[in-house]
Amino acid sequence: MKNKTENLKAINIVRDYVVFNLEYFTVLSRNKREMFFKKLKDFIEYYYKNSTVSDYVLNHGILKKQIPILRKYCLSYEKNLEKQYAGQYLRGKKSNLNQYLLNYEKFLKKEGLMARLKKASKIIVLGSGYLPGTAILLNKIFKVQCYCIDNDMEAVKTSKMLIKKMALEKEIFIMFGDATKYPLDGYEAIFITGSSFPKKDIFTHIFNKKTNNTKIIYRRPLGLYKMWYVPSSPKDINKFKIIKKVSHSDNYPFDSILLVKRH
Q: Give me the half-sphere count of Cα atoms (radius 13 Å) on the Cβ side of residue 52.
A: 10
Q: What is the DSSP letter of 256?
A: E
The predicted pLDDT at position 13 comes to 62
SS3 state at 175: strand
For 190, the enclosing helix (H) or strand (E) is strand 189-192
SS3 state at 67: helix
The per-residue pLDDT for range 99-128, each reduced to its tens digit, is: 888 888 988 999 999 999 999 899 999 999
- CA distances 235 to 54, 64, 222, 238, 252, Å, are 22, 20, 18, 5, 25
- Domains delineated in the chain: 2-90 (no CATH), 101-261 (3.40.50.150)
The rounded percent of the chain whose pLDDT value lies above 90 is: 44
16: exposed, middle or buried (C-beta count within 10 Å: 0-12, 13-18, 19+)?
Answer: exposed
Per DSSP bridges, beta strands 254-261 and 240-246 are antiparallel
Q: Give me the half-sphere count of Cα atoms (radius 13 Å) on the Cβ side of residue 117.
A: 31
Mean pLDDT of 133-139: 96
95, amino acid identity: S
Higher pLDDT, 262 or 215: 215
How far is the C-alpha of 198 from the C-alpha of 191, rounded, in Å? 14
Given a contact cutoff of 8 angstroms between Cβ atoms, the answer to whether 97 and 158 are in contact is: no
41: exposed, middle or buried (C-beta count within 10 Å: 0-12, 13-18, 19+)?
Answer: middle
The predicted pLDDT at position 1 comes to 38
The per-residue pLDDT for range 36-80, each reduced to its tens digit, is: 777 777 878 888 888 887 888 788 777 777 788 778 878 888 888
The string over 42-59, giving b where at least 16 C-beta atoms fall within 10 Å of a residue's C-beta and e elsewhere, is ebbeebbebeebbebbee
Higher pLDDT, 31 or 171: 171
The per-residue pLDDT for range 187-209, each reduced to its tens digit, is: 999 999 988 888 999 999 999 98
Given a contact cutoff of 8 angstroms between Cβ atoms, the answer to whether 209 and 184 are in contact is: yes
**pTM of the entire structure?**
0.88
The predicted pLDDT at position 31 comes to 76
The predicted pLDDT at position 245 comes to 92
Helix segments in the chain, DSSP class H: 2-23, 30-47, 51-59, 61-90, 97-114, 133-142, 153-165, 199-208
Given a contact cutoff of 8 angstroms between Cβ atoms, the answer to whether 75 and 69 are in contact is: no
